[in-house]
């Protein structure tokens, strides 16, 4: 059940006797608020998680003073950022500079809508969920380009141009990798993708696709080793150079919520989504968690994948932009096309009964 | 250093640029210029057409200040030139003044003091190279190696603190010796030795983690090339020169202090790019450990003659009487050749102190190394030189 439908039914059960459109409006508003809260607080919490993991990798304790284990650190950081002066440099392109932030936040949040958190648990039940998800994800880099151009700063411009160059190069291998999964499923619904992994997770037949997907998803989310649009040792802060205070904070939160998003996407596409591993049911666990079992497995897998992202982040240096483009066009693209064609042939052979 | 003609730009091969080039002022506020260095860049997209380093943002006039203060009061200021290898700065300056004070046959510094000096200087070389490795990895985007390097550097700084009470600006060496003898703690040298025994394994760990990493190899191999002829023509010294295959090390070429009696090699490589420089500095760390092993062994087992500080030179009187004439001393600093030129007129102030800073001289090579490379390579190349802006500007 989608979030809107759920709030809608709650309102009706509470005896709300309004016309359907008001009903829907309120439900949508409540749904959006919940969705934004979930996504942005995930991003916020992940800044904390990142700092702790990063610190442990570097043999440091990390932030551990605010709240139990330092978990409220992100609120303290947020409070600091909100109370900072909001500086708008005099010669920015006002529209592009301001809108970039909203584009970044809105489309990042929207991309989460069709994620299947559990059996029938999602923000929005969309028949063509994976398409919506990828489309929203594809708009998000536009924000980097807008910010890069609108900031009237050469470092930002370089960041924006790099984002554009990267965008066209990772998008195609990524779509081919995902398309191979869609071929196996035969449906665009995110729920169907998860359900068809009941027996074998797609990471087994699609291991090549998984690797390609992971590499390109890191670039899409702007994460190390491919954080080229931001690359702080070269471009100061890339496209975020001219943002300060909470505006910068929101870009930051978007990046960190993307970490979870990458993990969640990998989980959904390749790691069996909300299903327990190896087709088991774990009755004891299910008796504890009840209907939340699916959410539990989804969260565990996504968090594990997010940890891998952080791990990569703290381990690898940054690739050079031309080296990444070379790899994307000359290595990832051919392999992803081969993978796609091969999958198509195998699926067709299965359908015709040859195999 | 050739100035870049920004009004009438040319491509690296001398041809007319096909498109409009962009001028970018990188720094003085930039995370990767190692302080307040400003680079005027001429860019064709991601390609660096030309670079012009602009110096002076950290110029404190140290050399001029020296003229207004007592000889001995300048020692703490040398700490602040290259603040990552303060001991080596101390060493160069006190050696220069000692040369001014005493003739070559006169025993100014006791054997014990010389050993303490080399002990401190080589520990500092180790800590300098460790910190260089960490920040160099930061420049190419890897953050965690810094903390691995700092783990060992912290231990060294701990030893330094026990030795002289400071962790960064040591102010340890004096004319005629060093300020303090070894710490009272009888386990001090044992702990240093334990650290030294562990150090080769730590270097091996860095190598295991960094040497064959695909991204590091693809980022560093061929980045920032410098030929032997260019290096010699531009007066490049230190690891930068040795990476071009020239085995020039003042410790061997013109041995000072007790280096003649110590057994060590001068590592060289012919892979004169960022990758080669990284390898070379690892090899130098191992050599420093070898030197330290011998020095610690002598400090422990041999009854080294003399006091840690020659009382004849500790006071100010001798400076007023004998600090006449000129003296130039060159030492092997972790970053290259560190020369100090002092002129005195028998007063308590020097007339002139000039420092030949290795960072300053080596930075000259940046444009010839970076031309035609990518912005990311420029950052890596700059990092591989190992500059400290306090040393460049003074």
**pLDDT tens-digit map of B343-370:** 988 778 888 899 998 999 898 888 888 8
CA–CA separation, B128 and B153 (whole Å): 8
**Mean pLDDT (chain B, rounded):** 86
Summarize pLDDT for B133-160 with one digit per residue, the tens. Answer: 999 998 888 888 899 999 899 999 999 9
Percent of chain B with pLDDT over 90: 23
Query: Is there a domain that residue B43 lies in?
Result: no
The per-residue pLDDT for range A175-205, each reduced to its tens digit, is 999 999 888 888 888 888 888 888 788 888 8
Q: Touching check for A54 and chain B: CB below 8 Å?
A: yes
- Please state at what angle helix B86-101 crosses helix B111-139, rounded to 10 degrees: 140
- Chain A residues with CB-CB distance to B216 below 8 A: 317
Burial of residue A282 (CB within 10 Å: 0-12, 13-18, 19+) is: middle
Give me the pLDDT at residue B156, please.
Answer: 92
At A86 the three-state DSSP class reads coil
Annotate B1-27 with b (16+ C-beta within 10 A) or e (fewer). eeebeeeebebbeeeeeeeebeebebb
Q: What is the reported pLDDT for B132? A: 92
Residue B131 pLDDT > 90: yes
Q: What is the pLDDT of residue A128?
A: 82
Q: What per-residue confidence (pLDDT) applies to A340?
A: 92
Phi, psi of B48, deg, nearest 5: -85, 110
Residues of B with CB under 8 A from a CB of A: 22, 24, 30-32, 46, 137-144, 146-148, 151, 213, 215-216, 218-219, 374-377, 379
A27 vs B352, more confident = B352
d(CA A348, CA A65): 58
Q: CA–CA separation, A78 vs A63, rounded Å?
A: 14
Strand, coil or helix: what is B191? helix
Q: What is the 3-state secondary structure (H, E, C) of A184-240?
A: HHCCCCHHHHHHCCCCCCCCCCCHHHHHHHHHHHHHHCCCCCCCCCCCHHHHCCHHH
Calculate mean pLDDT across residues B75-93.
90
Tell me what the pLDDT averaged over chain A comes to.
84
Decide if pLDDT at B280 tops 80.
Answer: yes
Measure CB to CB from residue A321 to each of B46, B137, B218 and give the nearest one: B46
Question: Which CATH number fits the domain that encloses residue B145?
Answer: 1.10.645.10
Structure confidence at residue A18 (pLDDT):
65
- pLDDT tens per residue across span B11-23: 777 777 777 888 8
Question: How many whole angstroms separate alpha carbon A232 and alpha carbon A228?
Answer: 9
pLDDT digits (tens, 9 = 90+) for A269-326: 888 878 877 767 777 777 777 777 888 888 889 999 999 999 988 888 888 888 888 8
Model confidence at A121: pLDDT above 90: no
Q: What is the pLDDT of residue A3?
A: 63
A57–B144: do the CB atoms touch at under 8 Å? yes
Q: Mutate which of B32, B206, B215, B381 to test chain A, going by most A C-beta atoms within 10 A?
A: B215
Strand order in the sheet with B324-333: B324-333, B336-345, B350-356
- Residue located via tokens 């080296």: A323
Domain boundaries, chain A: 85-352
Residue B104 pLDDT level (bands cut at 50, 70, 90) = low
How many other CB atoms are found less than 10 A from the CB of residue B322? 15
- Domain carrying residue B216: 62-393
Instruction: List, in sequence order, every residue forming a beta bridge with B353; answer none if it has no partner.
Output: B342
Point out the residue among B30, B147, B374 whose CB comes nearest to the CB of A60.
B147
Give bridge partners of residue B342 from the DSSP assignment: B327, B353
Q: Is pLDDT of B208 > 80?
A: yes
| Residues 6 or more apart in contact with residue B382 via CB below 8 angstroms | B32, B33, B34, B37, B39, B139, B366, B370
> How would you label A319-351 residue by residue, b for 16+ Cβ within 10 Å and e otherwise?
bbbeebbebbeeebbebbbebbeebeebbeeee
| The pLDDT of residue B127 is above 80 | yes
Instruction: Look at residue A1 in the predicted model and tell me its pLDDT.
Output: 54
Q: Is the pLDDT of residue A354 over 60?
A: yes
Alpha-carbon distances of B311 from A314, B112, B306, B315, rounded to whole Å = 53, 14, 11, 7
Instruction: State the Cα–Cα distance between residues B323 and B351, nearest whole angstrom.
Output: 10
Query: Looking at the predicted structure, is the pLDDT value of residue B130 above 90?
Result: yes
DSSP string of B282-309, one letter each residue: HHHHHHHHHHHHHHHHHHHHS---S-SB
List all residues 6 or more positions away from A239 whose beta carbon is below 8 Å from its beta carbon: A100, A144, A145, A147, A148, A151, A156, A159, A160, A163, A229, A230
Residue B129 has pLDDT above 80, yes or no: yes
Contact residues on chain B for A153, CB-CB shorter than 8 A: none
Interface test with A, best of B216, B376, B381 (most A CBs within 10 A): B376
Contact status, residue A224 vs residue A50, Cβ threshold 8 Å: no
Residue B105 scores a pLDDT above 60: no
Number of domains in chain B: 1
Between A21 and B89, the higher pLDDT residue: B89
Cα–Cα distance between B368 and A171 in angstroms, integer? 37
CB atoms within 10 A of CB B209: 16
All residues at 6 or more sequence positions from A198 whose CB lies less than 8 Å from its CB, including other chains: A272, A275, A279
Q: How far is CA B325 from CA B99, B103, B345, B346, in A?
A: 10, 12, 6, 8
Higher pLDDT, B358 or A226: B358
A155 contact residues in B (CB cutoff 8 A): 24
Query: What's the CA gap between A275 and A195, in Å, rounded?
Result: 8
B252 belongs to a structural domain:
yes
Q: What does the pLDDT look like over B36-82, one tens digit per residue?
A: 888 888 888 888 888 888 888 888 888 899 888 888 888 899 988 88
pLDDT at B103: 60
pLDDT of residue A192: 83
Which of A236, A319, A322 is nearest residue B215 as measured by Cβ atoms?
A319
- Check residue A28 and give its pLDDT: 77
pLDDT of residue A16: 67
Please compute the mean of the pLDDT values over residues A202-215 and round it to a whole number: 88
Disruptive mutation site among A158, A218, A225, A234 for chain B (greatest number of B CBs within 10 Å): A234
- Please list, in sequence order, all residues whose beta carbon lies within 8 angstroms of the beta carbon of residue A83, skipping any fewer than 6 positions away: none
CA distance A173 to A337: 7
pLDDT of residue A2: 62
Q: Which of A159-168, A170-179, B27-36, B101-110 has the lowest mean pLDDT?
A: B101-110
Kindly report, residue by residue over B289-345, the tens digit of the pLDDT: 999 999 998 888 777 777 777 777 776 667 766 777 888 999 999 998 999 999 988
Domain membership of residue B7 (yes or no) is no
Q: Are A231 and A25 in contact (CB under 8 A)?
A: no
Instruction: Say whether A59 and B32 touch across the interface (CB within 8 A).
Output: no
3-state helix, strand, coil split of chain A in percent (to 5) is 70, 0, 25
Beta bridge partners of B23: B42
Q: Which residues of A touch B138 (CB under 8 A)?
A: 233
Give the dihedral sign, CA A56/A60/A63/A67: positive
Neighbours of B76 (CB within 10 A): 14
How many beta carbons lie within 10 A of that of residue B154, not counting itself?
A: 13
Residues 141-170 (A) with a CB less than 8 A from some CB of B:
154-155, 158
């Amino acid at each position: 059940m989608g979030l809107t439908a759920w709030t809608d039914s709650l309102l009706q059960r509470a005896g709300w006797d309004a016309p359907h459109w008001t009903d829907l409006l309120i439900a949508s508003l409540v749904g959006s608020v919940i969705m934004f809260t979930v996504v942005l607080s995930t991003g916020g919490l992940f800044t904390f998680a990142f700092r702790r993991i990063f610190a442990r990798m570097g043999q440091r304790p990390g932030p551990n003073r605010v709240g139990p284990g330092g978990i409220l650190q992100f609120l303290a950081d947020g409070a600091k950022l909100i109370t900072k002066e909001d500086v708008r440099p005099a010669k920015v392109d006002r529209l592009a500079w301001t809108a970039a932030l909203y584009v970044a936040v809105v489309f990042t949040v929207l991309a989460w809508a069709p994620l299947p958190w559990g059996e029938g648990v999602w923000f929005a039940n969309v028949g063509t969920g994976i398409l919506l998800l990828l489309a929203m994800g594809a708009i998000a880099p536009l924000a980097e380009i807008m910010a890069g151009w609108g900031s009237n700063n050469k470092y930002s411009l370089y960041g924006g141009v790099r984002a554009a160059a990267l965008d066209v190069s990772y998008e195609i291998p990524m779509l081919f990798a995902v398309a191979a999964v869609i071929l196996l499923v035969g449906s665009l619904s995110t729920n169907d993708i998860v359900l068809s992994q009941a027996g074998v997770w797609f990471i087994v037949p699609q291991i090549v696709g998984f690797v390609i997907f992971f590499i390109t998803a890191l670039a899409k989310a702007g994460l190390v080793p491919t954080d080229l649009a931001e690359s702080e040792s070269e471009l100061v802060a890339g496209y975020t150079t001219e943002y300060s205070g909470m505006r910068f904070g929101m870009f930051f939160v978007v990046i960190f919520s993307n970490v979870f998003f990458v993990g969640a996407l990998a989980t959904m596409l390749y790691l069996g989504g909300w299903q327990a591993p190896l087709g088991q049911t774990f009755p004891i666990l299910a008796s504890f968690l009840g209907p939340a079992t699916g959410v539990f497995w989804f969260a565990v897998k996504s968090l594990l994948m997010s940890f891998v992202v952080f791990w990569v982040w703290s381990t690898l240096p940054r690739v050079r932009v031309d080296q990444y483009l070379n790899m994307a066009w000359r290595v990832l693209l051919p392999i992803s096309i081969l993978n796609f064609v091969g999958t198509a042939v195998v699926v067709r052979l299965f359908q015709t009964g040859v195999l | 250093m050739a100035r870049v003609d920004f009004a009438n730009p040319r491509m690296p091969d001398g041809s007319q640029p096909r498109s409009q080039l962009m001028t970018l002022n990188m720094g003085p506020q930039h995370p990767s210029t190692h302080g307040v260095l400003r680079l005027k860049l001429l860019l064709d997209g991601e390609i660096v057409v030309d670079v012009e380093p602009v110096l002076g943002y950290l110029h404190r006039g140290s050399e001029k200040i020296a003229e207004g203060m007592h000889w001995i009061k300048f020692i703490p200021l040398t700490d602040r030139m290259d603040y990552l290898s303060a001991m080596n700065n101390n060493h160069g300056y006190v050696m220069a003044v000692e040369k001014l004070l005493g003739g070559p046959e006169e025993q100014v510094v006791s054997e014990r003091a010389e050993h303490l000096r080399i002990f401190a200087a080589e520990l500092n070389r180790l800590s300098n190279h460790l910190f260089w490795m960490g920040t160099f990895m930061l420049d190419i985007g890897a953050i965690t190696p810094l903390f691995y390097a700092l783990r060992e550097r912290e231990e060294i700084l701990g030893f330094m603190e026990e030795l002289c009470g400071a962790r960064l600006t040591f102010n340890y060496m004096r004319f005629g010796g060093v300020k303090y003898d070894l710490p009272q703690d009888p386990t001090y040298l044992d702990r240093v030795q334990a650290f030294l025994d562990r150090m080769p394994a730590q270097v091996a760990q860095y190598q295991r983690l960094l040497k064959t990493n695909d991204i590091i190899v693809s980022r560093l191999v061929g980045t920032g090339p410098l030929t032997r002829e260019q290096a010699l023509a531009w007066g490049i010294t230190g690891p930068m020169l040795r990476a071009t295959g020239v085995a020039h090390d003042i410790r061997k070429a013109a041995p000072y202090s007790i280096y003649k009696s110590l057994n060590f090699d001068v590592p060289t490589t012919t892979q004169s790019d960022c990758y080669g420089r990284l390898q070379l500095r690892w090899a130098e760390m191992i050599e420093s450990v070898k030197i330290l092993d011998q020095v610690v062994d002598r400090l422990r087992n041999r009854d080294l003659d003399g006091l840690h500080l020659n009382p004849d030179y500790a006071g100010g009187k001798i400076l007023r009487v004998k600090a006449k004439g000129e003296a130039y001393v060159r030492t092997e600093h972790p970053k290259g050749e560190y020369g100090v030129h002092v002129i005195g007129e028998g007063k308590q102030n020097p007339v002139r102190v000039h420092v030949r800073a290795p960072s300053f001289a080596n930075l000259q090579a940046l444009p010839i190394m970076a031309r035609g490379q990518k912005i990311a390579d420029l950052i890596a190349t700059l990092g591989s030189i190992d500059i400290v802006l306090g040393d460049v500007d003074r």
